[in-house]
Amino acid sequence: MSVVPVRTRFAPSPTGMFHVGGARSALYNWAVARQSAGKFVLRVEDTDTARNRPEWMEGIIQALAAIGIDSSDPAFEGPYLQSQSADRHRQAALQLYTSGRAYFCDCTREQLTERRESEHLGYDGFCRERGLEPARGRALRFRTPDDGETLVVDLIRGKPAFPNSAIEDFVIARGDGSPVFLLANVVDDLDQGITHVIRGEEHLSNTPKQQLLWEALGSAPPMWAHLPVLVNDKRQKLSKRRDKLALEDYLAEGFLPDALVNYLMLLGWGPGDDREIMPYPEMERLFRIEDVNTSPAFFDVKKLSAFNGEYIRALSEEAFVAACAPWLAGPHVPWRSDAFDPDVFAAVAPLAQTRLALLSEITGYVDFLFLDEPVFDEASWTKAMKPGAAQLLRDARTAYAAAAWRAETLKNVLIEVGERHGLKPGKAQAPVRVAVSGRTVGLPLFESLEVLGRDRTVQRLDAALARLTGP
């Protein structure tokens, strides 16, 4: 017996952004295809031409590449454009008509509404036996079986059965002859030999209709798998208005692709033990579509940030420096472009690496090293510059003007100055930290001072004193 090779597909409608939910669907399809040396087909469902733009295809390919779904991998097939099969969709519609599985309907919207209000929930079958010929303005409807049920085999949800009597005679081509999504999607899946349709739960209501179409077109339906919906912290379905959805936005904020992939894989699935941080290849090996659960998956940005922090800490020093590069140059950095010093950055990079949750935070951690003057955060200033701060800063300045310039010494010197003021080490650090960096939180102070250098440190202590005590 020959085994049919697995063929999954990812079939986004181009919208100009790549939804994190789409990324999860793509990853699950990718994992299932690669596990069995099958194929992952990318098909862009671009039939809604009014909204489609060619550059969106490029965006989809790039977003997939960012999450490791590389179009040059042997498992990758496509991209195909749905619009290129328009003739095939029309041909399938005609086939369903000529075989008697579909009929034309000239009911107007008003007529439908009027009749619907009176009795039926869906279409009432008014034109079923009228034998209307094809004509402009007539929609083509699928003749659903009167009795029996459509049993959908869903690898995640078991075998939901849909009574055929509850499925209306749905439209498969509009009055202008153009096939609708339901049909085009099935015809493409069928022609592309798709064996597993793995997609979001929002499509589950289409599935019995689509399965009827598969059967009517003479093919055995695929395996279905409907992935659980993604929700926010209020248990609401993620939406463009409320939530940040675009994968691109997460990448731009400094989430590492590996961390995103790891987190997305866990939205509805787990390896069966307590492990969460796991590289993709291992998850691919362990992933089983049957183990995906049905309950809504909480897209927890805080947890994603924690994952990201772990991934940042796991980078080699070199890789971390390279990953930070986009946040250290360009129009958004607060320092002059010639002020950035890669050696200075390299000296503090390991200190920052342990502290970041997002790569984009790096700019705020190191700006004080490259700016002529620190940017003071007013809340930090008020918090740190308590009565007595001026005298402390004055004493620290005097001590630092003469101290050996090493972190360890700078620390001991400040502890001693603090003691003279009756302050615990942490309390003595705060005004100095704000004076040199502008903020109460940041990199370890004494290592920062060592890198900043004596002259600039002393100069900043002077400037803070002047700010505190007036001219």
Which ranges of 315-424 would DSSP assign to H, the alpha helix?
317-324, 342-353, 362-370, 378-384, 389-402, 407-420
Alpha-carbon distance 52 to 45, whole Å? Answer: 9
If the CB atoms of residues 13 and 178 are measured against ligand GLU, the closer one turns out to be: 13
CB of 227 to ligand GLU, least distance (A): 10
User: Do 460 and 376 meet the contact criterion of CB atoms below 8 Å apart?
Assistant: no
Alpha-carbon distance 321 to 317, whole Å? Answer: 6
DSSP β-ladder status, 196-200 and 223-227: parallel
Q: Which residues bind ligand GLU (CB under 6 A)?
A: 11-13, 45, 185, 199, 203
**Which amino acid, residue 387?**
P
If the CB atoms of residues 19 and 411 are measured against ligand GLU, the closer one turns out to be: 19
User: Do 131 and 159 meet the contact criterion of CB atoms below 8 Å apart?
Assistant: no
Residues 6+ positions from 386 with CB-CB distance below 8 Å: 431
If the CB atoms of residues 186 and 417 are measured against ligand GLU, the closer one turns out to be: 186
**Which amino acid, residue 264?**
L
Q: What is the number of alpha carbons within 13 Å of residue 4 lying toward its C-beta?
A: 10
If the CB atoms of residues 25 and 429 are measured against ligand GLU, the closer one turns out to be: 25
CB of 203 to ligand GLU, least distance (A): 5
If the CB atoms of residues 184 and 384 are measured against ligand GLU, the closer one turns out to be: 184
β-partners of residue 81 are 44
CB of 269 to ligand GLU, least distance (A): 18
DSSP single-letter state for residue 439: S
Residues 6+ positions from 85 with CB-CB distance below 8 Å: 184, 187, 188, 191
Alpha-carbon distance 142 to 161, whole Å? Answer: 19
**What is the three-class DSSP state of 190?**
helix
CB of 185 to ligand GLU, least distance (A): 5
CB of 141 to ligand GLU, least distance (A): 21
If the CB atoms of residues 160 and 326 are measured against ligand GLU, the closer one turns out to be: 160
Residues 240, 303, 386, 424: which is the catalytic one?
A: 240
Is 302 annotated in the active site? no
CB of 229 to ligand GLU, least distance (A): 13
User: Do 178 and 92 meet the contact criterion of CB atoms below 8 Å apart?
Assistant: no
- Please identify every residue annotated as catalytic: 240
